[in-house]
Amino acid sequence: MAQQRGLRNMQFFPLQSYDALPALLKMGDCHLVVQKCGAADAVLPSKLTNILAVGGNAVITAEAHTELGQLCETFPGIAVCVEPESVEALVAGISQALLLPKHNTVAREYAERTLDKENVLRQFINDIRG
């Protein structure tokens, strides 16, 4: 389809190994985490964890009152949050994300502090100990 439409800014590669995932994610200029209205509280999208870990710039479609919306409000700069199911909002969010520095330090620092396995386990142990 990309060839038929003359799209030269898209490339398709065969399935890559999981070990290559961090390097592949770092290559992206902008990552899309697209959620339907009302779905942003169901579960944290697993791809978002990896995007944050590599310091990627993400555009998240989520309503402000959802967990994803609150994440973006609580940690300014972690991602660009836009209204879900709005083409105009998504286009504006992508345009905004493409103007950001390539490495998102807010996202990376959040991932190290909050999503790192050792930190998650330490917090879990502290929580169950009371």
Which residues lie below 8 Å from residue 122, measured CB to CB, with a gap of 6+? Answer: none
pLDDT grade, residue 40 (50/70/90)? low
As a whole-number percent, the residues of the chain with pLDDT over 70 amount to 98
pLDDT in tens, 83-115: 999 999 999 999 999 999 999 999 999 999 998
pTM value is 0.83
- Helix (H) or strand (E) holding 109, with range, is helix 105-110
Q: Looking at this protein, which amino acid is placed at residue 80?
A: V
Residue 128, pLDDT above cutoff 80: yes
